[in-house]
Amino acid sequence: MIQTVKCISPIDGSIYLERPVAPPDAAIAAAKNGRAAQKHWAARPLEERIALVQAGVAEIGKTTERMAIELAHQMGRPVRYGGEFGGLEERATYMAGIAETALAPIVIEDSDAFLRKIEREPHGLVLAVAPWNYPYMTAINTVAPALIAGNTVLLKHAAQTLQVGERMAEAFHTVGVPVEVFQNIVLDHDTTSALISGRHVDFVNFTGSVRGGQALERAAAGTFIPVSTELGGKDPGYVREDAELDAAVETLIDGAMFNSGQCCCGIERIYVHGSLFNEFVEKAVALVRGYKLGNPLDPETTLGPMAHVRFARTVRDHIEDAVAKGATAHIERCAQDDGEAYLTPQILTNVTHDMDVMREESFGPVVGIMPVRDDEEAIALMNDCQFGLTASIWTQDTDAANEIGRRLETGTVFMNRCDYLDPALCWTGCKDTGRGAGLSVLGFHALTRPKSYHLKKA
């Protein structure tokens, strides 16, 4: 019996698409083909690889309306937001622009006596395991720099967004990237682990759950295959006494609720200086009450369903746990809340760090808001978490933001913004967020290995 993976649409619970899972022998064959093609791909001039990647991105850009509709069906994001091409293009374009410099040899000495230098070599075959929440943008973070650097890519996309991997491969193949150089493949967990433990791939990039990251690291144990992980977060925002309040409310609440809260770097907890707390909460509640929960295919909808019923169940559990322990829920249940994928967005106060909603990743449209006395209390609470992806500080004092940022256990510090991935900066984290280096110059360094040359001349 052929094993398949089904994408259940959050719109109505129907099967949107179904694909057969590659059996182990087919997966190993695909990896073998990718490795065989890699040397030829890496031998092509850098500018040629860059041009092909840019052409592939442009090809994806021809179908943005289709992208938005397909994403609505697969993971519930409203069509009014237009898909993900803007972010995808920004990231790929930046990486293409810095490639020549980032991959250039570091020449230590070039004299009559010696040539001493460090070059960057591609790892070989990169296995990219991409998530469903921002399926194009997270995939391109690895796909574009990996191909530009001379690697071949095996892309395994999440079951919820199977179509995205197909569309990306289709676009890149259309513009001339060889099929063996960029392959999309449907895998189950066991076969994915077997590809790693059997050393059929040379580098792994995984974005997803802590449990998934642990499974891949276990598969790689003893193989010395590099595993780069980004495993989500419980990202905090801190509103200092001198913050511009309206901007803080608008941006932080959007950071908590956009994409139905399904963002790795979304805001999941907010700490507000006591002097601003009541006004912040009042404005935040008014803002969320203005959202329209509904069918993501309706252009009037501002908040779609969560991608899967089980994800919504986790959020409901966190809310119920918090309320049972004394939290106050401020948003009345929406008429469209069906107890399944369609979930009322929620703001909670009277929350403490004894509640799951303030410590565990909710990954949904809920945020807890706590008053704090000063920077010291805010820093302690922001660090009181097993995740460390981003943190957002709202203040007019850049020096204070710098000082607070140095004390935060996080991968990125924002001031007066949040929920954004700057391709010029390293996308990284600490603690249970995992370890890795995406985008920026360091992204190219992660996707290549250094090779040193010490050449003594005659």
Q: What angle do CA 52, 161, 77 make, to 5 degrees?
A: 105
**Residue tagged active-site, from 89, 180, 230, 361:** 230
Q: Among all chains, which residue has been given the structure tokens 């060889």?
A: 178
Catalytic residue, candidates 264, 265, 418, 426:
264
- In angstroms, rounded to a whole number, what is the distance separating the alpha carbons of residues 186 and 137? 19
Instruction: Provide the token pair at 423.
Output: 């391709």
264 has catalytic annotation: yes
Work out whether the CA dihedral 271, 274, 280, 284 comes out positive or negative: positive
Angle at 395 between CA 267 and CA 431, to 5 degrees: 40
Strand partners, 431: 387
Q: Which of 191, 138, 195 lies closest to 168, judged by CA?
A: 138
> Residue 232, CB half-sphere, CA atoms under 13 Å: how many?
23
Count the neighbouring beta carbons within 10 Å of the beta carbon of residue 339.
Answer: 11
User: Torsions phi, psi of 209, nearest 5?
Assistant: -80, 160
3-class SS at 138? helix
Can you list the positions of beta strands (E) in 131-264?
152-157, 182-184, 203-207, 227-230, 235-239
User: Do residues 340 and 329 touch, judged by C-beta distance below 8 A?
Assistant: no
Q: Which residues contact 370 (CB under 8 A, 6 or more apart)?
A: 269, 270, 271, 272, 349, 351, 352, 358, 381
Q: Is residue 454 within a helix (H) or strand (E), and if so which, with residue range?
A: strand 448-456
Active-site annotation, residues: 230, 264
